[in-house]
């Protein structure tokens, strides 16, 4: 009986940690929403969005780009990216790491292909 009690608490802790990990840190499916961002907060957050290739991807002289994306609520925003990965033109879904700017645009510090 005493040996069984020694295993119950560690087992419960492992189960609780596993539940927290799979709920909080598991990758999210589907697109994100720009409504989750505050334009007054410049904290860098991730969001999965759909690239709108029809509006074009304009390269900037600094090595970045300006393009348009759509979120799950069909909100279309202009993205000002510091740098872009190769093959962005053929991507459908991308991950932006950045923050919402004051002028209803998104400043992406990093762009990842999904």
List, for residues 17-52, the tens digit of each pLDDT value: 988 888 777 666 788 888 888 888 888 999 999 999
Does 3 fall in a domain?
A: no
Does 18 fall in a domain?
A: no
Average pLDDT of the residues in 7-25: 85
Does 47 fall in a domain?
A: yes
Which CA distances in Å does 64 have to 34, 71, 99?
Answer: 21, 21, 16
pLDDT band at residue 66 using 50, 70 and 90 as cut-offs: very high
Which residues are registered as beta bridge partners of 107?
80, 99
Average pLDDT, the chain: 88
Q: Which domain holds residue 93?
A: 31-113
CATH code of residue 68: 2.40.50.140
How many domains does the chain fold into?
A: 1
Does 9 fall in a domain?
A: no
What proportion of the chain, given as a percentage, has pLDDT over 90?
Answer: 48
Does 46 fall in a domain?
A: yes
Does 108 fall in a domain?
A: yes
Does 42 fall in a domain?
A: yes
Average pLDDT of the residues in 7-11: 85
Rounded-to-integer distance, Cα 114 and Cα 112, Å: 6
Quick one: 64 exposed, middle or buried, by C-beta within 10 A (0-12, 13-18, 19+)? Answer: middle
Does 37 fall in a domain?
A: yes
The yes-or-no verdict on residue 76 having pLDDT over 90 is: yes
């Amino acid at each position: 009986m005493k040996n069984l009690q020694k295993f119950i608490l560690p087992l419960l802790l492992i189960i609780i940690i596993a539940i927290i990990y799979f709920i909080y840190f598991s990758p999210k499916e589907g697109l994100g929403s720009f409504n989750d961002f505050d334009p007054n907060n410049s904290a860098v957050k991730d969001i999965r969005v759909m690239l709108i290739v029809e509006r074009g991807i304009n390269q900037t002289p600094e090595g970045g780009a300006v393009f348009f994306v759509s979120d799950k609520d069909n909100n279309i925003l202009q993205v000002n990216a510091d740098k872009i990965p190769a093959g962005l033109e053929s991507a459908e879904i991308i991950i932006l790491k950045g923050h919402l700017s004051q002028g209803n645009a998104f400043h992406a510090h990093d762009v990842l292909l999904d």
